[in-house]
Amino acid sequence: MQLEQPANIRHFASWPRPLVIILEIPDSLTPTEKRASIGLASIFGLRMLGMFLILPVFALYAPTLPGGNDHFWVGMALGAYGLSQGLLQLPLGMLSDRIGRKKVIIAGLLIFALGSFIAAAGTNIYWVVFGRVIQGVGAISAAVTALLADLTREEHRTKAMAGIGATIGITFAISLVLSPVLDRMIGVPGIFALTGVLALSAIWVVKSFIPDPEKSLFHADAEANPARLKDVLRDTQLLRLNYGIFALHAAQMAMFVVVPVMLVQGAGLDVTHHWQVYLPVLLLSFVLMLPAIIVGEKRDKLKPVFAGAVALMLGAQLSLTGVQGSLWGLAVALLVYFVAFNILEASLPSLISKLAPASAKGTAMGVYNTSQSLGMFVGGAAGGWLAKHHGFPSVFIFCGVLMGAWLILALGMKTPPAVRTRMFRVEGLTGERAAHLKNELSRLAGVREVAVLPDEGVAVLKVAKAGWDETAAMHLIHRGT
């Protein structure tokens, strides 16, 4: 009797035995993958909304608290969660490999909610800082990413990760507009409490909406591997990008120590109307960023677009030093800032993907995310200290120095290769077979880098955007030569 070949099996490789199966992945997400992607993106969104909502209004609320007239402690309150989050997100991600993803995520959300309620009930600035530190202890980003990898196939993982990134960006934009409105309705303590409620509601999403993975595995494209940390930390190109995300978010946090106060005291705009600045600025910045992103990605001009955005960010910081008393001046400077911010926030993960070793992308992203969190802490602390001792312009000079150093690093960066990543699930690989398959695939035209990971049953290829023949690769695997 002749057996019918399953629809999802494309090729059978015959060298050497035992059988190697290459699974052809359908173009669309399965219902389980869609559910996982939507659910985990919503968890990120709910958590980050709570973090972002506080930024536009806290500097104006802080003086009502004992100790809140000290700009340094205002900055600490804004950035403190970045320290604990940066130190713990990688260890907690690794812990999720041992005890389970959902356990770590639920525990992290509970801790985050606890920190939110402590900040809401804080009777002085120091209690708020303590609450923010506790919020950061609930560092779940690495565990969420690992769970998403467990629940999505390799071919669609990048798409699912991009959905989370887009959710975070949209959440940030919404928070800037919504925050002043909520401040008028429930006040800053109410926003902190709402943050805790959102975290608790995210637990319901984890338990009731997100599927349980059949098994949890290590995924080199999504998780940090301690054995590869030295390689990543020694890579000068990745270090440039890590400094970049550190500087970008340090400047962001430092700015929010002083910009809300400038809008009120310098430009005479009541906090309840700050959305009238943020909304048009954000909408216009998204429109203006799109051509730059398209040119960078589609026409392989990522380096000049990237360096240009860093230069634009430097100009925004310098212009902010001289517009304290002008509403229109502040609005224009903020528009320039958000155009640059949006371009850089979108470009950096793409650059990490192109420049990181194929077998250590997850490790590179873990170091990148840690750098981002630590930047938030340093930016809040430095911005608060400078505002206290040297005035508001010094904050933007500090940010300008960060951007100037970044511009030098960006100009010296290697031109990123015009590649995209393709992943294939490969079952039945041994170490010897993996080495042979890697050697043969690397000889194909258009293949720039190959990593074959027997433990995961995955082949990861970085291939040229043009001239890559996937059929030839599959034929090679089929022949096993």
Residue reference for tokens 């995955």: 458
In a domain, 393, yes or no: yes
Q: Give the CATH number, domain containing residue 441.
A: 3.30.70.100
Separation of alpha carbons 212 and 152, rounded Å: 12
Separation of alpha carbons 256 and 248, rounded Å: 13
Query: What does the H/E/C string look like for 291-341?
Result: HHHHHHHHCCCHHHHHHHHHHHHHHHHHHHCCCCCCHHHHHHHHHHHHHHH
Where a domain ends, among 390, 416, 442?
Answer: 416
Q: Output the pLDDT for position 2.
A: 37
pLDDT by residue, tens only, the chain of 481 residues: 333 333 343 433 333 333 333 333 445 778 888 888 888 888 888 888 878 899 999 999 999 999 999 999 999 999 999 999 999 999 998 898 889 999 999 999 999 999 999 999 999 999 999 999 999 999 898 898 888 888 887 767 777 777 777 888 888 888 988 999 999 999 999 999 999 999 999 999 999 889 888 777 777 777 888 888 999 999 999 999 999 999 999 999 999 999 999 999 888 889 888 999 999 999 999 999 999 988 888 888 889 999 999 999 999 999 999 887 788 999 999 999 999 999 998 889 889 988 988 888 899 999 999 999 999 999 999 999 999 999 999 999 999 999 999 999 999 999 888 888 887 777 667 777 788 888 888 888 888 888 888 877 787 888 887 777 777 777 666 554 3
Same domain, 322 and 458: no
Chain-centroid distance, C-alpha 72: 27
If one counts the domains in the chain, the total is 3
Same domain, 247 and 379: yes
What type of residue is 171?
T
Same domain, 67 and 216: yes
Where a domain ends, among 381, 416, 451?
Answer: 416
Tell me the HSE value of 215 on the side-chain side, using a 13 A CA sphere.
4
pTM of structure: 0.88
In a domain, 3, yes or no: no
Separation of alpha carbons 306 and 295, rounded Å: 11
Q: Output the pLDDT for position 358.
A: 82
Same domain, 152 and 266: no
In a domain, 7, yes or no: no
Domain ranges, residue 243? 231-416
Q: Output the pLDDT for position 346.
A: 86
Q: Output the pLDDT for position 400.
A: 96
In a domain, 433, yes or no: yes
What phi, psi does 214 have (nearest 5°)?
-60, -40
Q: Output the pLDDT for position 116.
A: 95
Separation of alpha carbons 392 and 480, rounded Å: 66
Secondary structure element (H or E) that encloses residue 447, with its range: strand 447-453
Separation of alpha carbons 110 and 39, rounded Å: 17
DSSP 40-72: HHHHHHHHHHHHHTTTTTHHHHGGGSTTTT-HH
In a domain, 2, yes or no: no
Q: Output the pLDDT for position 377.
A: 96
Q: Output the pLDDT for position 323.
A: 83
Same domain, 91 and 157: yes
Q: Give the CATH number, domain containing residue 255.
A: 1.20.1250.20
Q: Output the pLDDT for position 478.
A: 57
Same domain, 238 and 364: yes
In a domain, 11, yes or no: no
Q: Output the pLDDT for position 220.
A: 78
Same domain, 271 and 290: yes
Q: Output the pLDDT for position 187.
A: 94
In a domain, 318, yes or no: yes
Same domain, 62 and 176: yes
In a domain, 10, yes or no: no
Same domain, 297 and 216: no
Same domain, 167 and 244: no
Same domain, 266 and 377: yes
Same domain, 212 and 252: no
Q: Output the pLDDT for position 27.
A: 54
Where a domain ends, among 175, 195, 223?
Answer: 223
